Copies of this chain bind each other. A is one copy, B any other.
Amino acid sequence: MTIEIDDTETRATPTLASIAQQVGVSVNTVSRALRAPNTVRAELRKRINVAMEELNYVPNRLAGCLSGTRTDIVGVVVTSLYYSEFASIIDTLQSALLDRDLQVMLANTRYNPDQELRLVRSILSWRPAAVAIIGVDHPPKVVELLKASGIPIIEMWDTGGEVIDSAIGFDHEEVGAAQARHLIEQGYRKLAFVGSVRENDRRAQKRLHGFETEAAAAGLVPVAKLTAQQGGNPDLGERLALELLDRHPEIDAVACNSDVVAFGVLRALTKRGKRMPEDIGVIAFGDNEAAACVTPPLTTIRPDRERIGRLTADAIFARINGTEPRTTVVDWHLVARDSTRRRKP
């Protein structure tokens, strides 16, 4: 009597060994057929490929990366996924990384520092090749972990202060200052600031601070200011704008922390019969896809998200290849539309 071990029955996910057995070669030869094809005879390689196709073989990268030291995950940590704030950064970044066969592992902190620590830890546990993260301000432990990891860290969207490794972004104080400057140049004098400025949204805080500082420099203090802790959306903008009009009926210009908030502000001002840009001017930040389509078309500041995404990918490749860390400042533009007065030259 013979004992037959029926291992064709078990439909376990195929491994290199399954292929090797089927073709009648060693495991390593199969591995080589994948990693260094020209070291395997063409005929044999073909048979191996056929077997892999037949068995629907998918390499196990857990094992591959564990063995081969290099990983091809890139951790991407953002603070928000709502609206289009960071979507096109992620889109551009992931598309560029794909060219080099790098996979994106995504995490969303929702502006919560505890969550950020947890997520960074979780991402590092996958031994990524690099980490791209929004902001240059992180809890001390996050900075420590990222530094200790020894991999390239690209901080996106913001610059200034202490950088962990490399940064690609712009100065948000400048953006706030530019909002104030534009309004002042257009002849507005009673400035207000409205929007979501969360406790942990350092960029929003910077923009507000830049706005106030610039206004103060022009002798325009105090400026009315109405902020909220919740995330920005049109309803919030509408609510804050109505409150603002009640408290400070004299204001003649509003700077918003984001376009979606401004959308609500425009609605509120229209309801109250304010003419824009004659009675009141509105400027925002973000260049949402609808900014040119609201009434009146919204003057806003357009950060170059695609460029940040692409440069981040470039920086990751460069750093992996041993280039020195560097900080790159990315341009943004003020897009003047009809929601602010166009002063005659």
Q: Which residues of A approach B to under 8 Å, CB–CB?
A: 11, 13, 56, 58-66, 71, 73, 76, 81-84, 87-88, 90-91, 94-95, 98, 101, 103-108, 110, 115, 119, 121-127, 144-145, 148-150, 233-234, 260, 263-264, 266-267, 288-290, 292-295
A56 (CB) vs chain B CBs: closest residue: B148
The reply to whether A61 and B290 form a contact with Cβ atoms under 8 Å apart is: no
The reply to whether B91 and A81 form a contact with Cβ atoms under 8 Å apart is: yes
In whole angstroms, what is the CA distance A121 to B125 when docked?
22
Contacts of A87 in B (CB 8 A): 81-84, 87
Name the contact of A90 in the complex, choosing from B81, B83, B264 (C-beta under 8 A).
B81
In whole angstroms, what is the CA distance A302 to B214 when docked?
41
Contacts of A63 in B (CB 8 A): 66
| A–B Cβ pairs within 8 angstroms, 21 of them | A13-B127, A58-B149, A60-B127, A81-B91, A82-B91, A83-B84, A94-B107, A94-B108, A103-B105, A103-B126, A104-B107, A234-B290, A234-B293, A263-B289, A263-B290, A266-B293, A267-B292, A267-B293, A290-B294, A294-B294, A295-B295
Q: How far, in Å, is A74 (CB) from chain B's closest CB?
A: 11
Name the contact of A293 in the complex, choosing from B11, B107, B122, B264 (C-beta under 8 A).
B264
The reply to whether B105 and A104 form a contact with Cβ atoms under 8 Å apart is: yes
In whole angstroms, what is the CA distance A109 to B24 when docked?
37
The reply to whether A125 and B58 form a contact with Cβ atoms under 8 Å apart is: yes
Known: A71-B62, A121-B58, A289-B260. A94 touches B82 (CB 8 A): no
Name the contact of A294 in the complex, choosing from B71, B107, B149, B293 (C-beta under 8 A).
B293
Q: How far, in Å, is A290 (CB) from chain B's closest CB?
A: 3
In whole angstroms, what is the CA distance A121 to B293 when docked?
40
Known: A83-B84, A84-B82, A290-B294. A60 touches B125 (CB 8 A): yes
Name the contact of A105 in the complex, choosing from B105, B115, B234 (C-beta under 8 A).
B105
Contacts of A83 in B (CB 8 A): 84, 87, 289
Q: How far, in Å, is A99 (CB) from chain B's closest CB?
A: 11
In whole angstroms, what is the CA distance A60 to B62 when docked?
10
A-B interface, 4 closest residue pairs, ranked by CB to CB distance from nearest: A290-B290, A263-B293, A295-B295, A81-B91
A288 (CB) vs chain B CBs: closest residue: B290
Q: How far, in Å, is A92 (CB) from chain B's closest CB?
A: 9
Contacts of A267 in B (CB 8 A): 292-293
Contacts of A233 in B (CB 8 A): 289
In whole angstroms, what is the CA distance A292 to B58 when docked?
47
The reply to whether A290 and B56 form a contact with Cβ atoms under 8 Å apart is: no
The reply to whether A108 and B81 form a contact with Cβ atoms under 8 Å apart is: no
